A and B are shown apart, each in its own frame.
Chain A
Amino acid sequence: EAAVTQSPRSKVAVTGGKVTLSCHQTNNHDYMYWYRQDTGHGLRLIHYSYVADSTEKGDIPDGYKASRPSQENFSLILELASLSQTAVYFCASSPDWGANQDTQYFGPGTRLLVL
């Protein structure tokens, strides 16, 4: 069973502060992703990575940085948090080969409130 964990599960941050969301997977997957979920918008891709030490921009990367220090870990960084970044953030991983190569396995999400 695929396993993706996220920490923290919820966070309250102040405007202008730095926020780091962490994701850890034990699936031995090469691909990892960060999404945000807002009511009425589904999930939108922020950053993704297909190999350690490399990240790629998704559809909405502005205001976010990503870091992939190892295959298992992928972080999302908000250097200057803003009110508009209040959302639920999901991390996911997927393999790059095999029968399930394009299936993404999601973590439980992090609820971020910026005040």
Chain B
Amino acid sequence: GDSVTQMQGQVTLSEDDFLFINCTYSTTWYPTLFWYVQYPGEGPQLLLKVTTANNKGISRGFEATYDKGTTSFHLQKASVQESDSAVYYCVLGSNYNVLYFGSGTKLTVEP
């Protein structure tokens, strides 16, 4: 069945550091891949979407790409800020708009 694996449970960086989060996925369909972000006390919200058509998504300084050969997808940002502190989920889209969430990466950015 469809699944997503997100290995980095916590990441701590300093402001202006480079961020890189990696996930792997498994699906029998052409994948639609997402990154959702969750701030404390809120529900997750869409950050980026990547499809087989565009291979890349960019939003708010974040960039997401995927590699079909290794069935992996990545989130990166050149220079993180304290306001980027949140939990980031890699997510795989399936039929009926069903989403499969990874376990999340808690990003803490220190000033």
Binding site for B on A (CB under 8 A): 4, 31, 33, 35, 40-45, 48, 50, 56, 58, 90, 92, 94, 96, 101-109
A28 to B74, CA, bound (A): 32
Query: What is the chain B residue whose CB lies nearest that of A9?
Result: B41
Query: How far, in Å, is B101 (CB) from chain A's closest CB?
Result: 4
Contacts A31-B97, A45-B98, A102-B32 hold; do A90 and B104 have CB atoms under 8 A apart? no
Contacts A92-B43, A106-B44 hold; do A50 and B96 have CB atoms under 8 A apart? yes
What 19 new A-B contacts, CB under 8 Å, besides A42-B102, A109-B42? A31-B97, A35-B101, A40-B9, A42-B89, A42-B101, A42-B103, A42-B104, A43-B89, A45-B99, A48-B98, A50-B96, A56-B96, A103-B49, A104-B46, A104-B97, A106-B44, A106-B45, A108-B43, A109-B41
Among A4, A42, A107, find the residue whose CB has the most chain B CB atoms closer than 10 A.
Answer: A42
Binding site for A on B (CB under 8 A): 6, 9, 32, 34, 41-46, 49, 89, 93, 96-104
Among A43, A48, A108, find the residue whose CB has the most chain B CB atoms closer than 10 A.
Answer: A43
Query: What is the chain B residue whose CB lies nearest that of A56?
Result: B96
Contacts A42-B89, A42-B104, A48-B98 hold; do A103 and B46 have CB atoms under 8 A apart? yes
